[in-house]
Amino acid sequence: MHEMAICESIRRTLEEQAAVHAFQRIGRVSLEIGPLSGVEVEALRFGFDVVMRGSIAEGAVLDIVECSAAAWCMQCAETVPIARRFDACPRCGSHQLQVTAGEEMRIKELEVD
């Protein structure tokens, strides 16, 4: 999608965190990315290395936890697993689904010196 813009947003957040928690280097950045977030993980990894150059996170290891997506099926009245937005309910075939998980795009934790 716009993984470079997302990396720049991560960099700004890391720099703010450095000021708050008083650290000089980041060795590892852990992200949680959902399959419905619109983020292409490989493009994000590529952008991350480029954008972090010259920052406190230069050379940092990028850990990406790819969580799974789920939706509430209004027909079945329960949470069902989905892989893509336009998937039907795997139980009843209905498209009356409300996505409940899979849109995550979060910085979970940092390993810092």
Partner 1 sequence: MCTVCGCSDGEVRIGGKAQAGHGALHEHGGAHAHGHDHHDHHHHVHESELHRHVHHYGRGPAGTSVPGMSQTRLIKIETDILAKNKAYANANRERLGQLGIVALNLLSSPGSGKTTLLVKTIEAMKATRDVAVIEGDQQTDADAARIRETGAPAIQINTGKGCHLDAHMVGHALDELAPQRGSVLFIENVGNLVCPAAFDLGEAHRVVILSVTEGEDKPLKYPDMFASADLVVVNKTDLLPHLDFNVEQAIANVRKVNAGVKVMKVSARTGDGLGSFVSWIEGARAMQLAGADVAHAVAGE
**Contact positions vs partner 1 (CB under 8 A):** 1-6, 8-13, 17, 21, 23, 27, 31, 36-38, 40, 43, 46-47, 51, 53-55, 58-59, 74, 84-86, 88, 95-99, 105-113
Name the H helices within the chain.
Answer: 3-21, 41-52
* Distance in Å, CB of 87 to partner 1, minimum: 8
Q: Are strands 105-112 and 26-33 parallel, antiparallel or unpaired?
A: antiparallel
Q: Are strands 97-101 and 26-33 parallel, antiparallel or unpaired?
A: unpaired
* Distance in Å, CB of 26 to partner 1, minimum: 9
Nearer to partner 1, 6 or 80 (CB): 6
* Distance in Å, CB of 55 to partner 1, minimum: 7
